[in-house]
Amino acid sequence: MSLTATVVLPCYNEEGHVLQEIERISRAMDASGLSYELLVIDDASTDRTLEVVQSVAATYPAMRILPFHRNGGSGTARRIGTREARGEIVVWTDADMTYPNERIPELVRMLLDDPTIDQVVGARTAEKGTYKALRVPAKWLIRRIAEWLSGTKIPDLNSGLRAFRREVSLPYLRLLPPGFSCVTTLTMSFLHNQHDIRYEPIDYATRAGTSKFHFVRDAYRYILQVVRMVMYFNPLKVLMPPALWLLLLGLAKVVYDVVAHPVRIANNTVFMLLAGMIIGSLALLADLIVRSRAD
């Protein structure tokens, strides 16, 4: 039987509060009257998370447990959870008490009420994570890069609370990386394929337990994933600007060289022109591949 919604809840070492999240989500969904399943994915936790979840399985008939035998990362859990979902709408959230999961039915109903929207993202109004002094400017910079590359205003690029149409997301699941940047990838995939996204302001609480976020590694992955997504969908946006700048600089340098040294053109001028032509050719070739690819 097809369900209205599947709530995908990845868990990794969340034994201290996972039951609170399960109870909060189940209470909200039961009160909403929506048909749903709660897909709890244990990402090979090293604590008692799986045992705790299994101990209440009979109490929550809408809950389905999917245990991993090895840790795959939150992106892997969300990708597999979306693929295995039985609901027409998939909700991603976290089990760390940060997101207002009692508002999940509200996000689902936004999609049900407006067929022109394919994804609803809970846009956080404040940053409460670890490394706040570093995360705020880093996320701002990454978000501005994503906005420039996608040509779209993005209030929250990597929010972990979102609801989307499963059928729309299926072609992009293979693109999801295993780490936190999977949410960035899904956002960019939807935007570059003209799927409308609505951003709904939400509160964001202090995390319960220990954060799995590593600032340097995950910030680098976010930036890399944004560029990778745009290269996948719109390579001209990334490659053509530097190609044109190199060609313009090279032509200006040719004029200078002819005036200053009538008998020769400097080596660096030739290198700039060649680099511009090579990058421009790659941009056109990549764009041709993107446009001829059948998604």
β-strand partners of 87: 3
Tens-digit pLDDT profile for residues 139-189: 777 788 778 877 889 999 889 999 999 999 999 998 888 876 788 889 988
DSSP 8-class letter at 9: E
Sign of CA dihedral 88, 154, 97, 113: negative
Coil, strand or helix at 87: strand
CA separation for the pair 254, 2 (Å, rounded): 66
> What percentage of the chain has pLDDT greater than the value 90?
60
- The string of pLDDT tens digits covering residues 263-282 is 788 999 999 999 999 999 99
**Dist CA 233 CA 111 (whole Å):** 25
pLDDT of residue 130 exceeding 60: no
293 band by pLDDT with thresholds 50, 70 and 90? low
Q: What is the pTM of this model?
A: 0.81
Question: What letter would DSSP give residue 77?
Answer: H
- The rounded Cα 195 to chain-centroid distance in angstroms is 14
Would you list the domain boundaries of the chain?
Answer: 3-233, 235-292
- 56 pLDDT band, cuts 50/70/90, is very high
Q: Which percentage of the chain shows pLDDT scores above 70?
A: 89
Q: Which CATH number, 3.90.550.10, 3.30.70.100, 3.30.1380.20, 3.40.30.10, labels domain 3-233?
A: 3.90.550.10
Handedness of CA 178, 55, 34, 85 (dihedral sign): positive
For position 265, what pLDDT does the model report? 87
pLDDT (0 to 100) of residue 107: 97
CA quadruple 210, 215, 217, 222: dihedral sign: positive
- State residue 99's pLDDT score: 95
Phi, psi of 244 (to 5 degrees): -65, -40
* Cα torsion angle, 233, 236, 237, 238, sign: positive
The angle that helices 215-233 and 235-260 make with each other, rounded to 10 degrees, is 90
Q: Which residues contact 65 (CB under 8 A, 6 or more apart)?
A: 40, 42, 50, 53, 54, 57
- Residue 251 clears pLDDT 80, i.e. is over it: yes
All residues at 6 or more sequence positions from 236 whose CB lies less than 8 Å from its CB, including other chains: 283, 284, 286, 287
H or E element that contains 120:
strand 119-124
* 264 vs 5: CA distance, rounded Å: 70
